[in-house]
Structure 1
């Protein structure tokens, strides 16, 4: 099998997957690959030592020496492989004490041969992942970052120094590939020598995984390598995928853009218990909103993994990092209730997720898409064998596609005004009041019966760098325990009939979403809010919050599905010390909305009637993923199966259960949910433009509106004021009384009028150029029916 080409490897992999008999599992799609299956290639591991590296510390002055060493796992028979590098975090550097002037330990024994000092080779803790990847044709470098004097005392926690270490080791691998690397002393079978010459593919981009402080480092390295000057003498590396495993975020303000990016959050992390990596995912979602030069061309993934701790992803780090013995879900000392995974089970779950990420985005193996998007949780091969709460409970996935592959509806982030680096404490960008009145796609937002609907941010300055960006929004409910530190909506209701309706098009015009396959949103239950079911702290699916998700088309037809049928995101987090609020994905295939005209969708509606009380956090409502040619399965009906009974000790009283039917939490079944069609309102509202006048300081426009259709109610009135700017274009008046740049007449800026039955708009005229302006009024009711009034003119002098 010498000289296997990349094409040959792909054919072998395809044949292996085609021959694989998949174990029946509700969490495994028929077309999903098994990331734990070994590949066809034999592998070899080489430990290398290649001298010392002098690095500059974060103060820009101090330096220290560290060893260039680690391991390389590869398939000798592969002729051209993609590259992945692993970076461990801060851990004990040795058993014993380093010799004077040394940063790492020597391996020493006494006269009897008993070890008295041993270097802790943390880089060897990911061999189980490296071997699997190498068997599929990848070359994996796991590099050492054991030092003692650059982690603490600097605000970045050593991230920039670790970027220098990553750079130096990758350049070492680059030189070996080009026949110019150092000869590593040792037995011929244990040295790199010329074994890798011409065998590595750096041109198409490499992958990085960093654990703990290594996760902060690989996130830092995205910008580090991008900003290297071509004249610096250093090699700039192209990155196709970066994964941060349980990372710290001491450099919290960094925006990880320019590559596919993933974060894995261990729900029982006793070291980084605040799940600081969730902030990196929030930073990565919409890079062009915070970094004008960023291009949103890459996928973003977050995995919240139940029952996993910080250390056990690394086989060398054998100590349990849990800092409690009483937490019912995260303590291994509570066997009757614990959700904890054994070290072996945890590594199986971790390898399935992380290796899937690299094979999808480094190797372009699209069979792993279902694990990235959350269509499946894990394959049966990764199911915990002896621990945890079951396959469907282990992983909660959030996925945000590249901008060109999605249609954003509710995105509680707007493009901020230019501002200095947020690490400097710049003045916060003013709050954007339109986030609760206008969708990301330009349509209006309407609500009814909600006791809360507002944008908040859980940036409570709990860690070294403070907020991701200075924010003028209020802190979210339960701020310190809300780990998704980015803008989000708080939604609360105190009785049945409440809803939130988001229109897709300007003036509620229909939008064609038929090219997309799913409706995605991210949500979490506010655990401490008494309006929500409390659960028992250790049975994740004992209770759940729920609401209806409805699509409405241009004919007025409505089809609904239940949110909790598709995800475990609305279950309360379990445990007491490690209680978290993390926004997790709810992925609903558009086949669940059978009967809706997907070419003319006017709105997405969230209906809050059952349960009749509740409080949630909501963000990132979007259509994404390419529609499949065959229908996706729908969720189980609400009558079966029954929710599992509590598995805790009989003496533990159950928490309150919401008055709603139990629902399945896995999205695989064989029947489509019956559409829920209600009153269809096709009657247009009536509207009248009563006055267009020019006051001393403002342009005043007012009128009236009424509706007689079923469920009659005026939604709102939009007023467009513009002046011609060439063929088919105009400059529109903004709410601030300024003119926009030239925009298409059909896609301009509309101002939402105050009031419904009687409405009005007042715009300051001080900044408006003199001339003739046209006024266009559109009134629509809550079913989306439109009434457009004839154009009027007003002269500003």
Structure 2
């Protein structure tokens, strides 16, 4: 087995992993934040390998080993960086064939220098985002999750296994911050043990971004970290922000709560074309708990982004998953019609949205609120430079504020029930006829002239595990094509004069909504309904549906505005292969309702009939956000309420193998700021005193000492090898056999017995005659490495 203790870490240099250079931004309006601007800090990237992690698979019995490795991008001059972690999804682990028993492979070339095997470092594909965040004082870990033996054959598609990987990597980062190791062998500049001590802020919450199956994993991790049983060395990490990028949802019943949660849906996603992440957003909006407000103290955001595919957010994933040649909106072969973004433009848009989300909710940078709420769909600084349909058309935003910052009017959620069993979908929610007669705030609902007004659910029980929650409601129009898998209203009309009126309180009493800043609702066009404008499939704003939104006060005064004036949500979705119905936000400032007494509003009215025909899906009508004139004390975020555990204990990550054991710091109940007394930078001293070749074997011995502060030798490792071409060697294993040709910088090491006095012995029966070289290295618990002079060994 290959010894990771000996590997010299190197900066990753795969061709596809080059960091994105974000082009200079156009001039901004004064009120717009620039999420692509470089921050004041110089940045540094460290790649790490720390052995292998034993992971328990979803059956609760089987285990597997995965590499524990990744990268950390940070600002060395910033003393207390907030922490963010990225998790990629499933992708090819190796271009070529890795050695038996290995999940990753080396970068190898043949004798002519032609690459024959390449390790695919998917975790390096987000360097462009990590570097930008680090320049603003954040520390970003991008971790390896690039194996496939825990993905298929399990109901959760590997989500729980990846949660164990996330936990183990975050605990590594915690230990490095506290000066507790483990040491990661490599060039001195890559030695994490001495670079991050006291640099990271774990006293506050962290952020997670996961892509594809990584998006399912970070969503799973919300419940995983809540339920995991404490153990030796355990840390429970507070989550301030979790963002799922183009995620799968193998665990469809998963309810993300207890943190600010976001989803990014690529409109030209050819891998997860069903936009499964929309289900997660629907589940997150109103946590279906016995005491809903206990968990509803965080923001929920969804972005539907035109022209983006699944892969290009990661610079290593260069294959175009939306490879259609005929779709008028998503095909790159239709240059006159396509909405497709170039890879660099896609990453500009993605970095703007995702980094803004992290800076808003991890860093509490409230300047990014307008991007979260949809007040700014996309800053001018992040506009695509050479592709797409234009700034206004690029992003459709849905935003649901914490319960204390909104007033719900129409919210067709199921009756609160105990959560259904995720495995069986038991305990279906009963049909609730009152949803079409009574508002969420207890007022009456009246309707006139509508041909359809009913609650439905996009029940796609044939896909994955069925609807968001088991439901007795009828299937929405166009069924599974509707990607927003939550209860919603179908509203249709066949002539002028139709309306839907929702009263805010019992008996039509007035309600003071003046503390809120906007009226928000979410809507979508039923694409196949002939009552709606069809469009041409590639011009988003060619046609649009529309209706009036009216506020009525206690004196009978009315003020109206047109819904389509505030959002692109009512445009037909474009394209023909990627057909979507997705509810998107319509955000209307209350300043649009001049003349109405906002302290005495009685009803919200939606007036249909202009155009004369139409059919839409509707949900989430609410007043939210804080009015600009409300004092800062009133506008402050409420203290989050930590919910109780919501499920069985989570599997803990197993031990780390093939890396030197390290005594973990004592378990603590709070994430305190580490107290650093000294940083050991003194290298240990190691000698090779004896090298004997006997009839039965080879015996090597020597000494090692350490004189740094807190001196403590960690281990001594020995590499014995025969040169096998330029930069290559065949290494002696602990069993006395020779490996295949491996790079000199990533060979096999044998861990010596003993510390201050060490020995290594190997059998020689299978060793070829010739000259071998011996390299001995020792390292201490602070991560300092020292190597003895290279010596030769002759086997006759």
Give the shorter-chain TM-score range: 0.7 to 0.9
Moved more, 135-144 or 287-296: 287-296
- Equivalent position of 1:434 in the other structure: 434
**1:241 and 2:244 are equivalent in the alignment:** no
Moved more, 327-336 or 460-469: 460-469
Structure-1 separation of matches of 2:313 and 2:152: 23
Match of 2:56 in 1: 56
Once residues 293 and 510 of structure 2 are traced to their aligned partners in structure 1, the CA distance between those partners, rounded to angstroms, is: 32
Q: Tell me the CA shift for residue 23 of structure 1.
A: 5.1
Following TM superposition, by how much is the alpha carbon of 1:233 offset from its aligned partner in structure 2, in angstroms? 5.0
Match of 2:500 in 1: 500
Q: How much has 1:323 moved relative to structure 2?
A: 3.9
Q: How far apart in 2 are the matches of 1:487 and 1:290?
A: 19
Counterparts of 1:706-745 in structure 2, within 5 Å, are: none
1:420 and 1:244 map into 2 onto residues whose CA distance is 23
SS at match of 1:271: coil
1:388 is aligned to 2:388? yes
Map Cα deviations across residues 321-363 of structure 1 (whole Å, 9 max, x no partner).
0142100000101111100000000000000000000000000
CA distance in 2, matches of 1:270, 1:237: 34
- 8 Å CA contact 1:517, 1:623 repeated in 2: yes
Q: Residues 472-487 of structure 1: matches in 2 within 5 Å?
A: 472-487=472-487
Cα deviation, residue 427, structure 1: 4.0
Structure 1 residue 576 displacement after superposition: 0.2
SS in 1 for 2:599: coil
Could you say what secondary structure the match of 2:52 adopts? strand
Note the C-alpha offset of 1:292: 5.6
2:177 aligned partner: 177
Matching of residues 33-112 of structure 1 within 5 Å: 33-112=33-112
1:692 matched residue in structure 2: none
Single out whichever of 321-330 and 78-87 deviates more from structure 2: 321-330
Distance 2:144 2:82 in 1: 21
Residue-by-residue CA offset, 1:17-47 (whole Å, 9 max, x unaligned)? xxxx99567xx6x423110000000000001
Mapping 1:198-213, distance limit 5 Å: 198-213=198-213
1:730 is aligned to none
Q: Per-residue displacement from partner, 1:719-767 (whole Å, max 9, x unpaired)? A: xxxxxxxxxxxxxxxxxxxxxxxxxxxxxxxxxxxxxxxxxxxxxxxxx
CA distance in 1, matches of 2:207, 2:171: 14
Match of 1:408 in 2: 408
For the pair 1:186 / 2:183, whether they are aligned, the reply is: no
Helix, strand or coil for the counterpart of 1:193? helix
Partner of 1:640: none
Structure 1 stretch displaced more, 376-385 or 301-310: 376-385
What SS does the corresponding residue of 1:132 show, helix, strand or coil?
A: helix
Distance of aligned partners of 1:222 and 1:442 in 2 relative to their CA distance in 1, 3 Å threshold: same
Alignment check: 8 A CA contact 1:289 1:415 kept? no
Alpha-carbon deviation of 1:232?
Answer: 6.5
Contact kept, 8 Å, 1:374 with 1:399, in 2: the verdict is: yes
Alpha-carbon contact 2:288-2:416 (below 8 Å) kept: no
Q: Deviations over 1:303-338 (max 9, x none)?
A: 000000000000000110014210000010111110
1:551 shift after superposition: 0.1
**2:437, 2:445 within 8 Å by CA — same for their partners in 1?**
yes
Q: Give secondary structure in 1 for the equivalent of 2:598.
A: coil
Equivalent in the alignment of 2:332:
332
1:294 to partner: Cα distance: 4.9
Partner of 1:489: 489
* CA spacing shift, 1:573–1:191, aligned 2, 3 Å: same
* Aligned counterparts of 1:425 and 1:233: Cα–Cα separation in 2: 36
Match in the other structure for 2:590:
590
1:597-631, Cα deviation, whole Å (9 max, x unpaired): 0000000000002101000000000000000139x
Shift of 1:234: 2.4
Q: 1:169, 1:448 → 2: CA distance?
A: 58
Report SS of the residue matched to 1:536.
Answer: coil
The Cα of 1:419 is off from its aligned counterpart by 5.3
Q: Which residue of 2 aligns with 1:757?
A: none
Cα contact 2:123–2:142 (8 A) shared by 1: yes
1:711 — aligned with what? none
Report if aligned partners of 2:176, 2:197 keep a CA contact under 8 Å in 1: yes
2: distance between equivalents of 1:269 and 1:179? 43
Structure 2 distance, partners of 1:199, 1:297, is: 30
- Asked if 2 retains the 8 angstrom alpha-carbon contact of 1:288 and 1:296, the reply is no
**Residues 525 and 570 in structure 2, CA contact (< 8 A), matched pair in contact too:** yes
Deviations 1:404-451 (A, max 9, x none): 000000000143333541431314221110000000000000000000
Residue 121 of structure 1 is matched in structure 2 by: 121
Residue 310, structure 1, aligned to residue 310, structure 2: yes
Q: Give the gaps of 5 or more residues in structure 1.
A: 1-20, 631-797
Confirm whether residue 274 of structure 1 aligns to residue 274 of structure 2. yes
Q: Distance in 2 between matches of 1:154 and 1:556?
A: 59
1:616 corresponds in structure 2 to 616
Distance 1:290 1:147 in 2: 38
Counterpart secondary structure, 2:629 = coil
Distance, in Å, in 2 between the alignment partners of 1:418 and 1:492 is 33
- The alpha-carbon deviation at position 114 of structure 1 amounts to 2.3
Native 8 Å contact 2:293 2:403 kept in 1: no
| Displacement of 1:461 | 1.3
- Please give the per-residue CA displacement for 1:355-377, whole angstroms capped at 9, x wherever unaligned: 00000000000000000000001
Contact 1:450 1:492 (8 Å CA) reproduced? yes
**Do the aligned residues in 2 keep the contact of 1:228 with 1:234 (CA within 8 Å)?**
no
Query: Structure 1 pair 24/76, CA: closer, same or farther in 2 (3 Å)?
Result: closer
- SS across alignment from 1:182: coil
Whether the 8 Å contact between 1:288 and 1:294 is mirrored in structure 2 is no
Determine the C-alpha separation between the residues in 2 that align with 1:625 and 1:293.
17
TM-score normalised according to structure 2 size: 0.75
| Alpha-carbon distance in 2 for matches of 1:491, 1:607 | 11
Query: Structure 2: which 5+ runs fail to align?
Result: 1-23, 631-796
CA gap 1:237/1:351 in 2 versus in 1, 3 angstroms: same
5 Å-filtered alignment, 1:612-761, equals 612-629=612-629
State the alpha-carbon separation in 2 of the partners of residues 293 and 532 from structure 1. Answer: 38
Instruction: Please tell me whether the aligned partners of residues 493 and 608 of structure 1 are also in contact (alpha carbons under 8 angstroms).
Output: yes
Deviation, structure 1 residue 111: 2.1
Aligned length: 607
Q: Indicate if the aligned counterparts of 2:288 and 2:419 stay in contact, CA closer than 8 A.
A: no
C-alpha distance in structure 2 between counterparts of 1:422 and 1:125, whole Å: 33
